[in-house]
Amino acid sequence: MAVFQGAGVALITPFHADGSVNYEKLAELLEEQIAGGTDAIIACGTTAEAATLSEEEHSEVIRYCVRVVNHRIPVIAGTGSNCTATAVKLSREAEAAGADGLLLVTPYYNKATQDGLFRHFAQIAESVRIPCILYNVPSRTGMTILPETMARLYHEVENIVGVKDATGNIAMSSALMALVDERFELFSGNDDEIVPLLSIGGSGVISVLSNIAPRQTHEICQRWFDGDIAGARREQLRALPLIRALFSEVNPIPVKAAANLMGMEVGSLRLPLTDMEEKNREVLEKEMKKYGIL
């Protein structure tokens, strides 16, 4: 039940000046990603500002992405919520729309015990038939799926197939990989840790960097899979200064600024996110030029 291998883009959501979703621009971004070699589209994740999309917008963006991509590469829909019932509703709608898989973030704000996490994710996954990737990002949610809980979910719930790991804790990631088998899909949730997680059996990355450098991000993974370990390492290290600039402010503030610097015209952000501070934008522009994408 593998979803994809390689570099999936955590796609930004473009907005018009009035704050509404710019679907025409979204179609352009999707075509550019496919042409750039991206291995999967992740719609309505953190980078998409999903927290500020209404439920209606959320489902419509997913439907639109599925329709435009039209089976050329997988579309994974971000349908997680801190309300289990809401996540079930969004997940069923994404499945009905034709999404190839789901990305389910840990419940934020109200949090949960490890048993609560198990029951939350199990109930969502069992409400659909398509594969589910869990999203472990404690820096944004205040919750960590412990390796034992993740392994239990994988072994006991048939369509839970892996995790987007943004813990930044390689020891914890390694402990998880020791509890699962080779079919488990481990995706780096941090662009600066693609190669380290590939080295412990990872399947790729769900990437912010791919929004502005899809070919290069794909290449980091592809070199690894082709056995060019030195090449993968070289490309990972070459990207680090740009990656640091892309996370100099809270995601997706910098990546939207970067996209606009490249002429993509993706618009601004919805509050409470604001435009990038000038001093940080200047560093970002400098690193984009050094990386060769501007």
Q: Residue ranges of the domains in the chain?
A: 6-224
Closest Cα partner for 142 from 107, 189, 171?
107
Is the predicted pLDDT of residue 288 greater than 90, yes or no? yes
Share of the chain above pLDDT 90, in %: 99
Do the Cβ atoms of 193 and 207 come closer than 8 Å? no
How far apart CA 36 and CA 107 sit, in angstroms, is 33
Q: Is 50 exposed, middle or buried (0-12, 13-18, 19+ CB in 10 A)?
A: buried
As a whole number, mean pLDDT of residues 64-85 equals 98
Cβ atoms of 105 and 166 closer than 8 Å: no
What CATH architecture is 6-224?
A: Alpha-Beta Barrel (3.20)
Instruction: For residue 110, report the phi and psi dihedrals to the nearest 5 degrees.
Output: -75, -20
Mean of the per-residue pLDDT values of the chain: 97
Helices (H), 54-208: 55-69, 84-97, 114-126, 138-141, 147-156, 170-177, 194-198
Rounded to the nearest angstrom, the gap between the alpha carbon of residue 134 and the centroid of all alpha carbons in its chain is 11
pLDDT of residue 217: 98
- Give the catalytic positions in this structure: 135, 164
**pLDDT, tens digit (0-9, with 9 covering 90-100), for 45-54:** 999 999 999 9
pTM for the full predicted model: 0.96
User: Contact, 174 vs 140, CB < 8 A?
Assistant: no
Residue 184 backbone dihedrals phi, psi, to 5 degrees: -65, 135
Whole-angstrom Cα distance, residue 193 to residue 187? 10
How far, rounded to the nearest angstrom, does the alpha carbon of residue 68 sit from its chain's CA centroid?
Answer: 19
How many angstroms separate the CA atoms of 193 and 197, rounded?
A: 6
